[in-house]
Each structure stands twice: as structure tokens, then as C-alpha cells.
Structure 1
Amino acid sequence: MAHRFLIKEIALQAGLGVATVDRVLNDRAHVREHTRLRVEQAIKELEKQELRLATTGRKLFVDVVVEAPARFADEIKSALDAELPIFQPATFRPRFTLRETMSTSDVLDTLHTIGRRGSHGVFLKARDVPEIAEAIGELQRQGIPVVTIFTDIPLSGRVAYAGLDNRVAGATAAYLVGQWLGPQPNTVLITMSDGHFRGEEEREMSFRRALRTRHPQLKLIDASGGHGLDGPTEERVRKVVSAETSIAAVYSMGGGNTAILRALEARKQTPVCFIGHDLDRDNVRLLREGKVQAILHHDLRQDMRYACQHVMHFHKLMPATAVSSSSSVVVVTPENVPDYIASRLRL
């Protein structure tokens, strides 16, 4: 039985004699099963106590690097801030780099600066390109763990991905659109912020695959590339949707939903269903106004908790068994907006 404690410590924790514990640890005969289980439990209890002592007063500096519209970046920051008190006595000290757009060189400069300055971990939302993947690998070699958040960079050496399963999200959106529109031929507008975000790419591929399989009568029009920002997104939609085009549904993977609706209204288009992502202030308002029918939501707090736990596990401050799961996809309608989100947004 593997352990790193003195037999005397284990005996004291288990409330057993030293000779009895010695027999258990060395797998000798004539040991009752409940005695063996008590020794195993004592070792687990000592491991937990050791971890608590190791985390007392420990400060962990983590860098949060996010390319996202301000409305979503604010939600990420709020979710992380809400989770930090649960890790006491360890103290997380986040340092935020939140920008609406970041070029590959911007991300690389930021990651190289983190490497020079030092950090206990990085939470990263960035595009899946080879240069960024290599920079993540370099941080890993320096002993700085990187957790990708909400969109993955799997071939990078990152220690974990925290976020929803984007393939499941895309398939769920296809199911909802198919149920809303029925068997008639129709046109569906899709938008992504940027094709290099793997998460949105996975949503789109899964959405297209599910429609081809189950609803081949539905035609897609693509207005991607607006970075989730209102101005560029509205321009993209206006460019691909004409007054003669009848848009029956919208699947917005990258945000800018107010701008999408504004562009459609200018073309005198009112979709039967509009599916979006993330419960930010704009989307909750659009849900309640009946302009968006469903939001694919995932618990950002759960994802940020998962990311923090992986950093603690990397630094041997938490056992792997204590790391929780990441979030799953939840369909939110105007009738089931979570109270804690509505109250925080004061909507």
C-alpha cells in the first residue's frame, strides 16, 4: 500500500496500534477487512490534511488572456471573481488581459511576457493557430500550465480545456432549428465571429452535419467574420441577406445578436427562431423581448472553477480526484433564465 507517512502517524490517525498498521501496510496475513479499510481511509485523511497545510497562505498568480467582445469578457471576469473565495486558504490573484480583438502577434507578445515575468497558470481564450500552440508548449516547458477556456487548442500541450462541448452545442442547435421549422424547405442564417476559434468551428461543423443528416431541406447562408462585434457583424449580415431572401432561422455562434437582428429588420426579415450562445446582458434582454427564442448556456462559474482546480492540481495543491467536471450545454428559453443571472444583471 503506497504512502509517504510515518507508520506512527497513520496509526494515530487510524486509532490503531503501530503493529497492526505495519501488518496492513506490508500485506501480512490475519488482517480483518475493516481494519485494512480504516488504514486506507487514514492515509487519505492525512493526504487531505497535508494539502490543506500546503495551501495555507499560498498565493497563486494566474493570467487570464481572452479575445472576446466586452460583453462576454465581462461575464468571464465576473464568473472567475465569484469562484475565487471557495479556494481559501489558497488565494488566487488573477491578472486580466481582455481585448475585443487580438492578432496572433498580440497573443504571442502577451504569452511571451507572461513567460518572462512568471505565473502560476494561464487561462487562455485564443485562436487555434500553430504559433499560439507553440507558445503554449513553451510556457508548459517553463512550468507554467495553460488551461484553454471555451475554445480549445488541443495540439498545444495545454493541461486542460474548460468549457462546454461545442460539438454537442452545434448538434443541439440543429435539433432545435429542425423542430421549429418542420419539414418545409427554408433558409437558415449562420454566423461565427472568426473561423480560427476552434470552439465556433466545432459548433458549425456539428450543426451542418446534423442538418445534412436530418434536415436536408434546409439551406444555409453564412455571414461569419464579424468578430462578435456589432458593427462588423451587422455589415456582414447586410451583405449576404437580400430583401428577396427569406430567413426562417438564425444560429449565431459568435455573438453580436442585436446587430444581426437590426440587419435583418432592415431587410424586413423576422426569423421564426433565433438560437444564440451565452447569457450576457444583451441575450437575456433579447430572450425576454421574444426576439431570441433560445440560448445555449453553459455555467461559466463551473468552467472557471474547473480551470482553477487544474492549476492547483498542477502545483500539487489538489488531488486529481478533487477536480470537478466542466460544464454541459443547457437550453435556456424566456421561461427558465437562472435567477442568479437575472439578479446579477438586474434584468
Structure 2
Amino acid sequence: MAHRFLIKEIALQAGVGIATVDRVINDRGNVRVQTRMRVEQAIKELEQQERYSGTTGRKLIVDVVVEAPRRFADEIREALEAELPTLAPALFRPRFLLQETMTTQDVVAALRAIAQRGSHGVLLKARDVPEIVDAIGELKRSGIPIVTIFTDIPLSGRIAYAGLDNRVAGATAAYLLTHWLGGQPGHALITMSDERFRGEEEREISFRRALRSRYPQLELIDASGGHGLDRATEKLVNQALDAHAEVLAVYSMGGGNLAILRALEAQGKTPRVYIGHDLDRDNVELLRAGKIHAILYHDLRQDMRAACQHIMHFHRMLPESAISPSSSVVVITPENIPDHVSKRFRR
């Protein structure tokens, strides 16, 4: 396997021993497939880091553990990589574990492996369940700081949360629906990927609370639990819609919008208002096509910058006053898609 990095650099990036890396790059036997893949991924990560990192500064190895659909995980990776050159005096070396679905046991095993091999910090997007809370506590006792990103686990040992205010997002969605629908009675479809992601749960609670006071005649149809994945989400929406007539609106909190729209179209339902989250490629195209009417957007680069700055502050490389605030909720319509997003997702 051709490479230009020291074996010890690859071993540090991969989180394995030097002897293991030597066996992989020299194509010797007795290496598990998963370990070989991890070493190969580490070399790719080092190659990518060469493109955007300086050569001086204190190196900080950070582990990025994310359970999210591929489209959003890619956005997280790109946002972090775009911010790395701005994080002087630190030279961040991210190690990514990005998976569409992870069991609680998968997340706990990943966090314990990080504790065993060492890390300067963890950026974590995971469900708020007791086993993961306990694993975060173990990392804290090992001296490894954890920052939760985009969905919080507040009663854990994490040092900070970086991401939008999900309560504000849910209330904003309710405000938009109330004014765009004008009080017409009917049904609204809501979807979450998994209610154990606290961020989405906070959106849903805030959305329901605001509607109860502003728009009590709007009945909600819940089709949650598809993990933001197209096939599972489409199936759940089809099942939820069977017994209902017209759907006036959709508030999609967990993604899978192409699948949701396919299910609606199959049953001849066209919502008057459709609100989603995040400016990935699918959502930008759906905005341009008029299928989605508003996206609740937050600047992922700002959030990843803040997350890294919290790690820097923990290691006494940055004063607390210099940490960037988390991003604010911005309402995006087809008329104000940010230029940098439009350029990335040109037709």
C-alpha cells in the first residue's frame, strides 16, 4: 500500500498499534478486515488533512462519532474540514466514525475504544439514553472532553453543546404554519428520525406546544422513527396516511424528504406548506422545485468551529471569551438560498 506518512502517524490516526499498521501496509496476514479498512481510512484522512492544515501548531486528535443519514454526515464532515485551517494555534486531526444507524451498544463500544486508545476530545451526535450517558462519564473520568453536536445529552459529562437551539426551531416552524395556513382546520404530518435524539424531541415538543396555543384546530399525524432513511421513512408515512384525508402541511424534523414526498404523491396528497431542516443537496433541489417551502437552516461551519473551540478551551489553548456562539435558526426559502450553498449544489 503506497503512502507517504510515518507508520506512527498512521497508527495514531487509526487508533491501532504500530505493528498492526506495518502488517497492513506491507500486506501481511493476520489482520481483520475491519482493522485493515480502518488503517486505509486513516491514510485517506491524513491525505485530506494535508490539503487544509498548516504544518505548525499543537496537534489535537479528535474523534467525531455521528449517527446520521449519509447526506447529513457528509455535511458535518465537510463543515469540520472547512473550519480546520481557521483553528490556530491548534492543528486538529479528526478521526471519523460516521454511520447511518448505530445501536446503543455500537456507540458505547466506540466511546470505550476511544477511551482505551486516547484522544484529545470527542464530538458526538448520539441518542440520549442511559448507557451512552454512562459511557460519556467514563470518557470524562479518563480526562477526555466530549462536546455534543446538533443533538444534546445534557445530563451527561459533556463539557458543552454546539448546535442550533432546537426549541426555537420547533416554535419557528409552528409560527410559519400558523401564518401560512391562516387557521384552516385539517391535518399536518410530522416526522422525526428517532425521538431519542433529544434535538428532534425538543423541536417536536416546542412545535406541539406552540400549535396548542396558536392553532388548536390543526391535528397532527405522527410518522416518526425512520432514522431519516428513505425506505423506512416512506413506509412509515404511507402507514400513517392511510386513515387520513387532506394533509395541509408537513414539518419534517429528521430528514428523508424525498421519501416523504413520494409517499404523499402516491396517495394524491399535496401539502400547502412543507417545512424541513438543513441544506443538503436533496433539500436544495426540493426548494428550487417548490416542493419544500421553507428550510430551517443553521450554519454547520459555525457550530463545528464552536465545538472545536470548546476542545481548545478545555486544553487551555483558548480563553472562554473567544469561543464562537452556536448558530441561530434562519428561515430559508427558494428566494434566499445562501450563495455558498448554491455554488456547491448547482443544477
Q: Distance in 1 between matches of 2:311 and 2:268?
A: 50
**SS of residue in 2 equivalent to 1:156:** coil
- Alignment pair present for 1:154 and 2:154: yes
Corresponding position of 1:325: 325
Compute the displacement of 1:145 (Å): 0.4
Q: Distance in 2 between matches of 1:102 and 1:167?
A: 25
Q: Distance in 1 between matches of 2:101 and 2:56?
A: 38
Any gaps of 5 or more consecutive residues in structure 1? 1-54
Q: Distance in 2 between matches of 1:134 and 1:125?
A: 15
Q: Distance in 2 between matches of 1:188 and 1:244?
A: 10
Specify the code of the residue in structure 2 equivalent to 1:333. T
Q: Distance in 2 between matches of 1:243 and 1:282?
A: 28
Q: Distance in 2 between matches of 1:274 and 1:193?
A: 17
Segments of 4+ moved more than 4 angstroms:
none
- Alignment pair present for 1:307 and 2:307: yes
For the Cα contact (< 8 Å) 1:243–1:267, is it kept in 2?
A: no
Corresponding position of 2:17: none
Specify the code of the residue in structure 2 equivalent to 1:256. G
Compute the displacement of 1:186 (Å): 1.4
**Pairwise CA RMSD of aligned residues?**
1.1
Q: State percent identity of aligned pairs.
A: 72
- Alignment pair present for 1:264 and 2:264: yes
Any gaps of 5 or more consecutive residues in structure 2? 1-54
Report Cα offsets for 1:277-320 as digits up to 9, x if no partner: 00000000000000000000000000000000000000000011
Q: Distance in 2 between matches of 1:280 and 1:125?
A: 18
Structure number with greater Rg is 1
**SS of residue in 2 equivalent to 1:101:** coil
Q: Distance in 2 between matches of 1:194 and 1:137?
A: 23
Q: Distance in 2 between matches of 1:242 and 1:135?
A: 41
Q: Distance in 1 between matches of 2:184 and 2:341?
A: 36
**SS of residue in 1 equivalent to 2:155:** helix
**SS of residue in 2 equivalent to 1:193:** coil
Compute the displacement of 1:344 (Å): 1.8
Q: 1:166-245 to 2 correspondence within 5 Å?
A: 166-242=166-242, 245=245
Corresponding position of 2:88: 88
Q: Distance in 1 between matches of 2:127 and 2:151?
A: 8
Corresponding position of 2:134: 134
Corresponding position of 1:69: 69
Q: Distance in 1 between matches of 2:93 and 2:226?
A: 33
For the Cα contact (< 8 Å) 2:90–2:312, is it kept in 1?
A: no
Q: Distance in 1 between matches of 2:168 and 2:292?
A: 20
Compute the displacement of 1:137 (Å): 1.2
Specify the code of the residue in structure 2 equivalent to 1:341. V
Q: Distance in 1 between matches of 2:275 and 2:90?
A: 40
For the Cα contact (< 8 Å) 2:89–2:317, is it kept in 1?
A: no
Report Cα offsets for 1:202-257 as digits up to 9, x if no partner: 00000000000110010000000000000000000000102751100000000000
Specify the code of the residue in structure 1 equivalent to 2:69. P
Q: Distance in 1 between matches of 2:85 and 2:342?
A: 22
For the Cα contact (< 8 Å) 2:192–2:226, is it kept in 1?
A: yes
Corresponding position of 1:248: 248
- Alignment pair present for 1:123 and 2:156: no
Q: Using structure 2 for the length normalisation, give the TM-score.
A: 0.83
Compute the displacement of 1:342 (Å): 1.3
For the Cα contact (< 8 Å) 1:170–1:205, is it kept in 2?
A: yes
Compute the displacement of 1:157 (Å): 1.0
Corresponding position of 1:164: 164
For the Cα contact (< 8 Å) 1:221–1:240, is it kept in 2?
A: yes
**SS of residue in 1 equivalent to 2:140:** helix
Compute the displacement of 1:134 (Å): 1.0
Q: Using structure 1 for the length normalisation, give the TM-score.
A: 0.83
Q: Distance in 2 between matches of 1:280 and 1:184?
A: 31
For the Cα contact (< 8 Å) 1:243–1:268, is it kept in 2?
A: no
Specify the code of the residue in structure 1 equivalent to 2:162. A
Compute the displacement of 1:89 (Å): 4.0
Compute the displacement of 1:341 (Å): 1.1
Compute the displacement of 1:87 (Å): 1.4
Q: Distance in 1 between matches of 2:110 and 2:193?
A: 22
Compute the displacement of 1:183 (Å): 1.6
Specify the code of the residue in structure 2 equivalent to 1:61. I
**SS of residue in 2 equivalent to 1:76:** helix
Corresponding position of 1:14: none
Report Cα offsets for 1:10-54 as digits up to 9, x if no partner: xxxxxxxxxxxxxxxxxxxxxxxxxxxxxxxxxxxxxxxxxxxxx
**SS of residue in 2 equivalent to 1:154:** coil
Q: Distance in 1 between matches of 2:321 and 2:181?
A: 44
Q: Distance in 1 between matches of 2:321 and 2:230?
A: 43
